[in-house]
Amino acid sequence: MRVLGVDPGLTRCGVGVVDGAPGKPLRLVSVGVIRTSPGDDIGVRLIGLERGIEELLDATSPDAVAVERVFSQHNVSTVMGTAQAGAIAIACGARRGLPVALHTPSEAKAAVTGNGRADKAQVTAMVTRLLRLDAAPKPADAADALALAICHVWRGGAQAKLQAARTRQGR
């Protein structure tokens, strides 16, 4: 399975694509950050994110998209921008008919480190190790996007099978 992970943000949106399957080695396909200028109008910034994600979808052809679920923070303006950026990623994937999953930061951290409260350094170190990279992905947004993709590779398939079974049983 090839998964695009998205760590949403208006200024820096981390994106990472991973190939893998549960119990098999993971492989890095692509990693980076889509940047927009804080001085630009919100509409221009969202269009910039959409273009960047669409270009990555075209270049990598993932089977699924995993986006970080936005959670409540103290700074409402930060939450709004993060939610808007996440919605762009969700819409881009859905437009192509790809399954889109939302994973909490704790789920992604637990998937790659075994600890849902791991710090950014621990997540980055484990992503680097799991993907057998020579250097850690930078900035942290890029490593977080890869952690989301890895989380989905390892957990998303099982979740999709459970949901399909529930649907067949009429639940």
**The two structure tokens encoding residue 36:** 């927009």
What is the DSSP code (8-state) at residue 13?
Answer: E
Out of 19, 68, 107, 144, pick the active-site residue: 68
Out of 7, 19, 107, 144, pick the active-site residue: 7
Could you give the CA distance from residue 46 to residue 48 in angstroms, rounded to a whole number? 5
141 catalytic residue (yes or no): yes
Cα–Cα nearest to 88, from 31, 141, 49: 49
Out of 19, 107, 141, 144, pick the active-site residue: 141
Could you give the CA distance from residue 149 to residue 79 in angstroms, rounded to a whole number? 22
68 catalytic residue (yes or no): yes
User: How far apart, in Å, do the first and last CA atoms of the chain sit?
Assistant: 27
- Going edge to edge, which strands form the sheet with 64-68? 27-35, 12-19, 2-7, 64-68, 100-103
Active-site annotation, residues? 7, 68, 141
